[in-house]
Amino acid sequence: GVGLRDALLKINANEYPFGLVVILAGTNDLGLAFQMNQGVAGSAAAVSDSVIELLKIAHEEGVPTLAISIPESGFQHKVPDAKAIAIKANEAIEKWCMDNCDKSSYVEFPFGWSIDDSRWSSDGLHLSEEGYFELAKGIAPIVYMNGRSFVH
């Protein structure tokens, strides 16, 4: 009873169904893939495959999607392979969205990472309250336009 499909089924059964699912994979996903020691290509495939599976689930339940690229992080700046995994995973996710553009869109994360940026928490991985606000501001017009273009 926990997961994207269950949430979509429960909410879509109500009077106000989802109009758009927004997927943002993050550094936690990269960390797990990095620990699998499958090399850059294998780890990137593991991350992108899991994100694409979520996109497919939403589509199977009749909900269009917006995928946001994996954002930069302190982890990626310290570990070059992690950054390479993120780049390759983002490329695969973007390609899949382009191949399924009738149901899915892709957008780059709206800002980068730096050590002194108050939009990031002190752990270098997660957004601060200000960062979440900036993310929302950055994607709001895209969410609005995508939600309108997919709604019939």
In this prediction the pTM is 0.88
Helix (H), strand (E) at residue 106 = strand 104-107
The span from the CA of 78 to the CA of 70, in Å, is 16
Work out the average pLDDT over 120-146: 89
Q: What is the pLDDT of residues 23-62, one digit of tens each?
A: 998 677 777 777 877 899 999 999 999 999 999 999 998 8
Q: Does residue 120 register a pLDDT over 80?
A: yes
Q: Does residue 102 register a pLDDT over 80?
A: yes
Mean pLDDT score across all residues of the chain: 87
The span from the CA of 107 to the CA of 90, in Å, is 10
pLDDT for the residue 67: 95
pLDDT for the residue 142: 84
Q: What dihedral angle (degrees, nearest 10) is formed by the CA atoms of 99, 143, 1, 51?
A: 40
- How would DSSP label each residue in 30-66? HHHHHHTT-HHHHHHHHHHHHHHHHHHHHHHTT--EE
The span from the CA of 118 to the CA of 147, in Å, is 30
pLDDT for the residue 86: 95
Residue 127 backbone dihedrals phi, psi, to 5 degrees: -80, 150
